[in-house]
Amino acid sequence: MTDEQLEEILKESRRLTIPAVEKNIFSIGGRGHYENPISDLLAFFLDVHEIHGFGDLVLRSLNEAAGLSSDDIDLIATPQREVQTTDEKRIDILFEGERYVTMIENKIRHWAANPFGSYDAYLNEKYHNKRINRVLLSIRKETPPEGWVSLTYKNLLARIRENLGDYIIKNPYSKWLVLFREFLLNIEQECEPDPMTNERFEFAYKNYQAIYELQKIAIGYIDELLKRGLDAIRLDSDTEESAVFSKKQVWGEHGTALLFHRKNWGGQSNITLLLSPTGLFLVRLYVYDIQDCDVPKLREMIVNDKYMKFWTESKTIRCFGDFENSKLDAILKEIQEVAQILNSYYSS
Q: What is the CATH number of the domain that holds 294?
A: 3.90.1150
Q: What is the CATH number of the domain that holds 56?
A: 3.40.1350
100 and 230 together in one domain: no
Q: What is the mean pLDDT of each successive set of 10 residues along the chain, which is 348 residues long?
A: 77 70 59 69 87 86 86 82 84 87 78 72 84 85 80 86 80 79 76 68 87 91 96 92 92 89 94 92 96 93 88 93 94 96 93
73 and 180 together in one domain: yes
* Upstream peptide bond of 322 is cis (omega within 30 degrees of 0): yes
Distance, in Å, from the CA atom of 179 to the CA atom of 187, rounded to the nearest integer, reads 13
185 and 199 together in one domain: no
The three-class DSSP label of residue 81 is strand
53 and 163 together in one domain: yes
Distance, in Å, from the CA atom of 272 to the CA atom of 268, rounded to the nearest integer, reads 11
Q: Determine the angle formed by the axes of helices 208-233 and 3-13, rounding to 10 degrees.
A: 100
The three-class DSSP label of residue 257 is strand
User: Based on the structure, what is the number of domains in the chain?
Assistant: 3
Comparing CA positions, the residue from 266, 275, 320, 267 lying closest to residue 298 is 320
30 in a structural domain = no
From the number of C-beta atoms within 10 Å of its C-beta (0-12, 13-18, 19+), residue 265 rates as buried
Please give the C-alpha separations between residue 305 and each of 82, 318, 320, 324, in angstroms, as whole numbers.
46, 17, 12, 12
215 in a structural domain = no
- HSE-CB for 318 with a 13 A CA cutoff: 19
- Beta bridge pairs of residue 272: 259, 284
110 and 64 together in one domain: yes
Distance, in Å, from the CA atom of 104 to the CA atom of 90, rounded to the nearest integer, reads 11
pLDDT of residue 194: 60
Q: In 224-251, which positions are buried (b, 16+ CB within 10 angstroms) versus exposed (e)?
A: ebbeebbebbbeeeeeeeebbbbeeeee
Neighbours of 308 (CB within 10 A): 10
247 in a structural domain = yes
The CA-based angle 250-230-235, given to 5 degrees, is 155
- What strands lie across the sheet with 270-275, from one edge to the other? 244-250, 256-262, 270-275, 281-287, 317-325, 309-313
- Host domain of residue 250: 225-347
Distance, in Å, from the CA atom of 292 to the CA atom of 36, rounded to the nearest integer, reads 31
113 and 199 together in one domain: no
Domain boundary among 206, 235, 268: 206
Q: Give one word for 266, left, alpha or beta, with left for phi > 0 and alpha for psi -120 to 50.
A: left
272 and 253 together in one domain: yes
92 and 59 together in one domain: yes
pLDDT of residue 32: 45
- What strands lie across the sheet with 100-107, from one edge to the other? 80-84, 90-96, 100-107, 131-138, 149-152
229 and 250 together in one domain: yes
Q: Sign of the C-alpha dihedral, residues 78, 79, 85, 88?
A: negative
